[in-house]
Amino acid sequence: MNIHTIAQYLNDLGDKSNSGYNFDCQPISGEVDVLQVTVEGREELPIFVSVTDDQVLCITYLWGEDEVIEGKRSQMLESMLEMNIPMPLSSFAKVEEKYVVFGALSINSSMSDIEHELLVLSENALDVIDDMSEFLK
């Protein structure tokens, strides 16, 4: 499995998707190849997919450290920790100065499982931004 196989599957889904959503996939070449996946109607929150020897990693960037209201960071982090377990298929992390939500799947996951993870991650990202809005500028 690689990002090109995932892109081909998602781009070919069209109206055959059980979810009713369409995907737009753009490979990004680099030291590690990454697939930028956009869920139709959620263009502001692309998902970045990479494939290693043992996992498929999916990450969505949420907001930067500079977007957190001064004095609210500790409360925000506490809220994120409390939200982390009940949030299905996703977890929080920080990559450099950006907060992210991510999910990981086995390299042996089906394409249908990957499609499902991408949609859940996208929905979780929207929910998180809404739930954390009181802490953001």
What local confidence, expressed as pLDDT, does residue 18 receive?
76
What local confidence, expressed as pLDDT, does residue 72 receive?
98
pLDDT band for position 28 (cuts 50, 70, 90): very high
Q: What is the pLDDT of residues 64-123, one digit of tens each?
A: 999 999 999 999 999 999 999 999 899 999 999 999 999 999 999 999 999 999 999 999
Six-digit token pair at 4? 């090109």
This prediction has a pTM of: 0.94
Average pLDDT, the chain: 95
Six-digit token pair at 117? 């993870």
Q: Is the pLDDT of residue 19 over 90?
A: no
**How do the domains of the chain map onto residue ranges?**
3-135
| CA 28 vs CA 35, 43, 127: distances in Å | 6, 17, 27
Q: Which residues are within 8 A (CB) of 74 and not within 5 positions of it... i.e. 6 or more apart?
A: none
DSSP state of 53: S
Q: What is the pLDDT of residues 38-68, one digit of tens each?
A: 999 898 999 999 999 999 999 999 999 999 9
Cα 10 from Cα 115, distance rounded (Å): 7
Q: Which CATH class is domain 3-135?
A: alpha beta
How big is the CA angle at 116 (ends 129 and 28), to the nearest 5 degrees?
A: 75
